[in-house]
Amino acid sequence: MRRLLVLGCLTFLLMCQFAAPASAHDPIFLTSQHDGADTGPFLPDGTISFAFYGDLGSEKETRGFQAEFQEGQTLQISMLIPAALPETNLQFEDLPVLKVTRPDGTSFDLAAEMSVEFYEPYTGTSYIRVNEFREVAQGGIHDFLLNANLAARFVVSIGAIERFGTPVKRYARPFSLGSGSDPLTEWFSNAPEQKAENEERPSVVENTAENKSELLKNVEAVQESDNPKSRRNLVVLLTLGIVFTALSVWGATRRFKRL
């Protein structure tokens, strides 16, 4: 019975450990070394969820990465910016554009066309979703290249399967233990400098305000649909762990009283 009790506790702890990062993406930080799709990180499985963080300082700068898909898998992409200055003062046409090139050579561009703000509880930061796209993927390697318009930070998330620590080729994960900070905090804190413009155009925030009621519905829909399966799995796992542990403790107690 003692072994059963120990096994129950260990099972519960393992469930909590693996359930903790639910609804999150494994972060990758793009730098000036990743200025092309073939020089950026390579994902052997494009269905695994990753979030690419980076910044572009001028219209001549680019950042890229590659991902491989099997025929019939889902290519799923989200483009975001931090809900902070200076990005929230920019117009849609000022934000980075993502060019996606399929294995057969065809390509398409993803530019900012929506404005849905949401809070990310796992990082304690807020973002604005500016585009979402999905399609049935071709088999092979896809190229992703971000092109700058003005200086801005960006996030590109890809995939839906949460599997932290998945190997990534052509990329070394940053080591921040004991540094007093972490790469995500540094990225969010280091805002790019913007040149002043006299032309008055609706900013990302103003576009959000004009469609406030519709956007609130979108936010709720996004939050509810980001990964409902993961949330359900989390609740089920935690519940089973608690029940299993309680039964183990109850059984051990009865055995102790009989002795």
pLDDT-wise least confident of 86-100, 175-189, 210-224: 210-224
Residue 11, pLDDT > 70, answer: no
How high is the pLDDT of residue 224? 44
pLDDT tens-place string over residues 94-140 = 999 999 999 999 999 999 999 999 998 877 889 999 999 999 999 99
Contacts of 183 (CB under 8 A, 6+ apart): 27, 29, 53, 174, 176
- Report d(CA 155, CA 171) in Å as an integer: 17
Two tokens at 65?
Answer: 């990465």
Domain residues of the chain, as ranges? 26-201
pLDDT at 221 over 60: no
Q: pTM for this structure?
A: 0.71
Q: Is the pLDDT of residue 187 over 50?
A: yes
Spatial strand order in the sheet of 26-29: 26-29, 50-56, 152-158, 74-82, 125-136, 116-120
In this prediction, residue 55 has a pLDDT band, given cuts at 50, 70 and 90, of: very high
pLDDT class of 250 with cuts at 50, 70, 90: low
What pLDDT does residue 13 have?
40
> What gap in Å lies between CA 162 and CA 174, rounded to an integer?
20
- Predicted local distance difference test score (pLDDT) of residue 147: 97
- Mean pLDDT, range 233-241, rounded to an integer: 54
CA 197 to chain centre: 32
pLDDT digits (tens, 9 = 90+) for 38-51: 999 999 999 999 99
For the cut 90, the answer to whether the pLDDT of residue 255 exceeds it is no
Residue 76 has pLDDT above 70, yes or no: yes
Domain covering 26-201, topology: Jelly Rolls (2.60.120)
